[in-house]
Amino acid sequence: MTQQFDESMFYDEFSMPLLGDDFPKLEVQTTHGPMNIPADLKGSWFVLFSHPADYTPVCTTEFVAFQKKNDEFEKMGCKLIGMSVDQVFSHIKWAEWISENLKVEITFPIVAANDRIANRLGMLHPGKGSNTVRAVFVGDPEGKVRLVLYYPQEIGRNIDEIVRAVKALQTSDKNKVATPADWPNNGLINDRVIIPPATNVKDAAKRKEQYDCYDWWFCHKPLER
């Protein structure tokens, strides 16, 4: 008897999460013990970032950079979680090496992923062996995927941009606004925020009276502190 191929099972196993999706449920082992992601992070923003391998130069610089920004993430109510397919004892020893040699203590958990988890998050790329790419997932307090970034193995991430992106997401959610390019240092409107475009003729006619505008579809205001 021929076994029927269930396409839905294939995509559930291997299609990576998209913006707005629920973050995949993962039971993982970390340097801080077992974790259920995103259940254990409910109520908190989080940044889950993968790296190709422990004991590699670019990854080491990234972990130091993430740790040095950890206080900023914590002030935003955002937790950091690292991840690669290395075993947990390797993560522990690598973190010890960083502390002893670079004088930086890694305080966030590092997930020991397997190929199934890595595939589920789209972190294994053809032609790159078993190493995971540099993926970044930002999740919100409800466990929704809000931002996804992928970098090749050869390019280290800009941690300031990830801090900025979390701040921008939180600002957008709280104030129901959009943020411009390079916010809060935009070349046109500086640290001001953008009003969502009007959706009917009546509101469009009022926009220039209510806000500072280049036109009714491009209006902005100071961010309420």
Residues marked active site are found at 59
Select from 161, 168, 160, 216 the least CA-distant residue to 193.
Answer: 168
What is the C-alpha separation between 225 and 61, in angstroms, rounded?
Answer: 34
Q: Record the tokens describing residue 196, joined without a space.
A: 């969502």
DSSP state of 147: E
* Strand, coil or helix: 197: coil
21 close to 144: Cβ distance less than 8 angstroms:
yes
What is the C-alpha separation between 93 and 88, in angstroms, rounded?
Answer: 9
* Element holding 135 (H helix, E strand): strand 134-139
Q: Is 13 left (phi over 0), alpha (psi -120 to 50) or beta?
A: alpha
Residues with Cβ within 8 Å of 23's Cβ and at least 6 positions away in sequence, in order, are: 17, 37, 38, 137, 139, 143, 144, 145
